[in-house]
């Protein structure tokens, strides 16, 4: 679990670093990059707006992907699927047909991308952290059970060595309340 969490956090760090650097460069050089495709000032302005809004926040999609893949690896595949369907697809229709007509500008239209990414990321976090906490508890319980079983096996081996008989011939499990030994009966013998 520790290595999986390290991979998630390293992935986040790499994503943030690369995404912010290249997103910022794309936003800073939006006009020169757009001018490679068109020289029309109106087209350049629309392109600049879109690149500033979307390129500078695009790293959020990678964070969503990392959280989604981590949840899938923790056997929670439905959550990322529903988040993607709602926040990357379904939310855009009401935005375009109900909200966008209120303020008709392309800048306002472009805002749905980062809004969807942020709301999806927040929703994924609400599932990711409790799932990690639950898995840590499960792993801890499994490790404790393994440790207890190891102690029992060592104790049985010690008894077998001490009495020179297999554990089953010493009275087996029914005589041993905690580790497999009934101390009072053993003292009476």
pLDDT score, position 170: 64
pLDDT score, position 123: 94
pLDDT score, position 14: 92
pLDDT score, position 104: 85
Would you give the end-to-end CA distance of the chain in angstroms? 48
pLDDT along the chain (189 residues), means of 10: 85 90 90 88 88 89 91 92 91 90 86 92 94 89 87 80 73 57 47
C-alpha 77 chain-centroid distance: 11
pLDDT tens digits for 107-153?
A: 888 889 999 999 999 999 999 999 999 988 988 888 888 888 888 88
Q: What is the mean pLDDT of the chain?
A: 84
DSSP string, the chain: -HHHHHHHHHHHHHHHHHHHHHHHHHHHTHHHHHTTT---HHHHHHHHHHIIIIITTTHHHHHHHHHHHHHHHTT--HHHHHHIIIIIIITHHHIIIIIGGGS--HHHHHTHHHHHHHHHHHHHHHHHHHHHHHHHHHHHHHHHHHHHHHHHHHHHHHHHHHHTS-GGGGT-GGG-SSSS--HHHHHH-
Q: How far is CA 69 from CA 80, 81, 99, 119, in A?
A: 8, 10, 31, 17
pLDDT score, position 183: 43
């Amino acid at each position: 679990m520790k290595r999986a969490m390290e991979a998630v956090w390293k992935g986040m760090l790499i994503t943030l670093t690369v995404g912010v650097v290249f997103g910022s460069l794309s936003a800073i050089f939006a006009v020169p990059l757009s001018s490679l495709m068109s020289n029309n000032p109106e087209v350049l302005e629309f392109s600049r707006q879109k690149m500033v809004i979307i390129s500078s926040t695009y790293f959020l999609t990678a964070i969503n992907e990392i959280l989604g893949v981590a949840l899938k690896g923790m056997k929670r595949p439905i959550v990322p699927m529903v988040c993607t369907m709602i926040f990357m697809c379904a939310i855009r229709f009401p935005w375009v047909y109900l909200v966008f007509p209120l303020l008709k500008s392309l800048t306002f239209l472009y805002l749905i991308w980062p809004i969807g990414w942020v709301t999806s990321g927040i929703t994924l976090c609400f599932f990711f952290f409790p799932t990690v906490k639950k898995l840590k508890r499960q792993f801890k319980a499994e490790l404790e059970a393994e440790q207890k079983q190891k102690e029992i096996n060592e104790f049985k081996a010690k008894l077998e060595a001490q009495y020179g008989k297999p554990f089953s011939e010493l009275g087996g499990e029914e005589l041993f309340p905690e580790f497999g030994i009934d101390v009072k009966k053993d003292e009476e013998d």
